[in-house]
Chains A and B, each alone.
Chain A
């Protein structure tokens, strides 16, 4: 997801452009276009609210539900079916799923499962319309949602605020869609299905195209189905033609997801493509066999006892979506892999060296200075990634507030794509540094030692970022967990890494002659002590049922990652901000503590 989209600037810009378009068109062109533009702006505004709301709720119940209901294809499918049935909008569910994906709450295979489920969930709309002749007026839902949402947004509790944002977001989305539909009323005559009376394959394709166009224009397959069912009930369209229009409506419903994915990250685009793929593949297959499909529906209807053609159409709608899901859902992991191949993560140019030039590489002293400066650049980039990975902002992390209260008070998810950040800001620069070190003349021995120290520091930075990446999923899940036995250790891990980052920050602010990089090793001893204490408790907590064995496993693994990060930070601090003079630097290394020394100190006097 582009940075501007994450921060909401893209949404705000798009909404502002659309609002401007609404003003201009209202003044100069047509009121219908003004409503369409205003509707799109409101829609985007609603998306912003929803993203904020979901971000505020992450770590709590929502994550728990998502984690629970999106593990495995069947659960993801059910999640898609239930949410789409409740919201009556597969487009909306797709947009929300893209938002989940972008926040890293679910993986692509789960997202594909949800989208497939949404295709079944959306068929409940046809049954509702056909059976009751009713459709939920989403604009009528929008107002109470907005009212309740705005009240909750002002609530002091974070969870209530998150819920308020989601409600207001849904309200704005519904209102936006309603505005757009109203605006497109002018096109209703253009898609008057009763005017088309052709037959055969070409007619089926034409009807399907009409379904696509009508749904894209009205941003709702339900609206198309409503028109279609009315036409079918009044005999203005043949049954086979109606089936083709329903297929087209399904394909057209992907437009919302495609539009929603334009500003999303690569996973969002992949998901929108999965949605498009599912609907076009199943739609194409059904269109090719529309005659036999019609006979199957007729036979099944006769068997069940359905006579009403509108209910038969609803049955067809459910059958063909269900068939598509039955065929494609088992392969959702493979589809996700295919999507990753078809839409690869764009290779960002990445950070390039600024100081490591051929001229600098020609002289050992210049090379050493260039390496140090490049490593500090690399570290600064790594710090931002790590801080965000721990859901902390550097301004707060490096502020005056005690770190214990910083980690306790700041637990909102900081959305960051760690993989792409690593590729963009760490991988290429670290490779350039290692390349320069390998090309350098490692003589005399003192220079070889300096180069080795820099190489170790580079690897330490890479390790710290990678381990943060490993730590983040469980950290995100547990820092808000209701169970204090799992929440507290995860916040302690944030504290341990935060302490290391803050200690290095304070160290670099001191004059060089007052710096004591050796003191950073106290952080390692402290973590080692805490780790020993926690490791001793984990088994007992599992035994007493205070945490699940899975939580215990996660905790043990993540303590290892944290130890590795703290160790790396102590090395980085000494290599980059310690003695620049070669002899003094070497003396500092002589005094450095080994892993055994750290363990001995952590155990205390025997």
Chain B
């Protein structure tokens, strides 16, 4: 924890917003991974017999899950574009 804090402070001190963003990108990637696993589970559940209300619930969860995945991909894409711009400014790849 202390090491992480020192890295964060150094990062901030040295103007390393990129590191933070990379961590955030990683967090979104982790979430995306989690969402994809969840989607597979939901699809497996949907293949089992259920009553109408349960099917509706599972479908809703699936829809919402996919909407979150879409948001995650959009965010990653947008950050990637911003990263390209920075690269061209300071020549540092993110």
CB <8 Å contact, B31 and A444: no
Q: Does B7 contact A (CB under 8 A)?
A: no
If A444-B12, A525-B60 touch, whether A593 touches B24 (CB-CB below 8 Å) is: no
In the bound complex, what is the Cα–Cα distance between A596 and B45 (angstroms)? 28
Which residues on the B side are within 8 Å of A277 (C-beta)? none
CB < 8 Å neighbour of A590 from B12, B28, B35, B56? B28
Q: Are A591 and B31 in contact (CB under 8 A)?
A: yes
Task: Confirm or deny: B68 has a beta carbon within 8 angstroms of a beta carbon on chain A.
Answer: yes
Known: A583-B24, A591-B75. A522 touches B64 (CB 8 A): yes
* Main secondary structure on B side of the interface with A: helix
Interface centre among B12, B23, B60 (most CB of A within 10 A): B60
Residue interface bits B56-72, CB-to-A below 8 A is 1, else 0: 11001101110110011
Interface residues of A in 552-586 (CB under 8 A from B): 581, 583-584, 586
| Minimal Cβ-Cβ distance residue in A for B38 | A516
A518 and B61 alpha carbons, distance in the complex (Å): 10
Do residues A601 and B68 form an inter-chain contact, with CB atoms below 8 A? Answer: no
- Do the beta carbons of B12 and A583 come within 8 Å of each other? no
A588 to B72, CA, bound (A): 9
Asked whether, in the complex, the Cβ of A601 is within 8 Å of the Cβ of B27, the reply is: no
By the criterion CB–CB under 8 Å, are B65 and A601 in contact?
A: no
Please pick, from A446, A588, A601, the residue contacting B67 in the complex, using a CB distance under 8 A.
A601
Q: Is the CB of B64 within 8 A of A593?
A: yes
Contacts of A581 in B (CB 8 A): 27
Determine the chain B residues whose CB is within 8 A of the CB of A30 once the complex forms.
none
The answer to whether the Cβ of A597 comes within 8 Å of any Cβ in the partner chain is yes
List A contacts of B56 (CB < 8 A). Answer: 526
Which of these, A446, A521, A591, A593, contacts B28 with CB under 8 Å?
A591
Determine if B30 is an interface residue (Cβ-Cβ < 8 Å): yes
- Do A519 and B27 contact each other (CB < 8 Å), given the known contacts A591-B71, A591-B75, A593-B71? no
Measured between beta carbons, the chain A residues less than 8 angstroms from B12 are: 444
Bound Cα distance from A526 to B34, whole angstroms: 22
- Chain A residues with Cβ below 8 Å from B34 are 516
Residues from chain B with a CB closer than 8 A to the CB of A300 are none
Whether B24 lies near A586 (C-beta < 8 A) is yes
Cβ of B3 to closest chain A Cβ, rounded Å: 15
Chain A residue numbers with a CB within 8 Å of B60 are 522, 525-526
Task: Decide if A431 is an interface residue (CB 8 Å cutoff).
Answer: no
- Pick from A444, A522, A526, A583: contact of B23, CB below 8 A: A583
What number of A residues sit within 8 Å (CB to CB) of B? 21
B42–chain A nearest beta-carbon distance, Å? 10
Taking CB atoms, residues of chain A closer than 8 Å to B65 are 518-519
Residues of B within 8 Å of A593, CB to CB, are 64, 67-68, 71
Within the assembled complex, what's the spacing in Å between the Cα atoms of A584 and B20? 11
A588 to B27 alpha-carbon distance, docked (Å): 9
A154 at interface, CB cutoff 8 A: no
**Nearest residue, chain A, Cβ from B64:** A522
Cross-chain contact B75 with A590 (CB below 8 angstroms): yes
Minimal Cβ-Cβ distance residue in B for A444: B12
- Contact check: which of B23, B28, B38, B64 meets A601 at CB < 8 Å? B64
Q: Which of A588, A590, A601 has the most CB of B within 10 A?
A: A590
B64:A519 contact, CB within 8 angstroms: yes
**Is A587 on the interface with B (CB-CB < 8 A)?**
yes
Which of A444, A518, A586 interacts with B68 by CB under 8 Å? A518
Residues of A close to B20: CB separation below 8 A:
446, 583
Expressed in whole angstroms, the Cα–Cα distance for A588 and B30 within the complex equals 10
- Whole-angstrom distance between the alpha carbons of A583 and B11 in the complex? 14
Among the listed A444, A521, A590, which residue makes an inter-chain contact with B64, where contact means beta carbons less than 8 Å apart? Answer: A521
Nearest residue (CB) in A for B31 is A587
B72 cross-chain contacts in A, Cβ below 8 A: 590-591
Q: B30 is contacted by which of A526, A584, A590 (Cβ under 8 Å)? A: A584
**Chain B residues close to A by CB (< 8 Å):** 12, 20, 23-24, 27-28, 30-31, 34-35, 38, 56-57, 60-61, 63-65, 67-68, 71-72, 75
Task: Please report A residues at the B interface, Cβ cutoff 8 Å.
Answer: 444, 446, 516, 518-519, 521-522, 525-526, 581, 583-584, 586-588, 590-593, 597, 601
Q: List 26 A-B contacts (CB under 8 A).
A: A518-B35, A521-B68, A522-B57, A522-B60, A522-B63, A581-B27, A583-B20, A583-B27, A584-B27, A584-B30, A586-B24, A587-B31, A588-B31, A590-B24, A590-B28, A590-B71, A590-B75, A591-B28, A591-B71, A591-B75, A592-B71, A593-B68, A597-B67, A601-B63, A601-B64, A601-B67
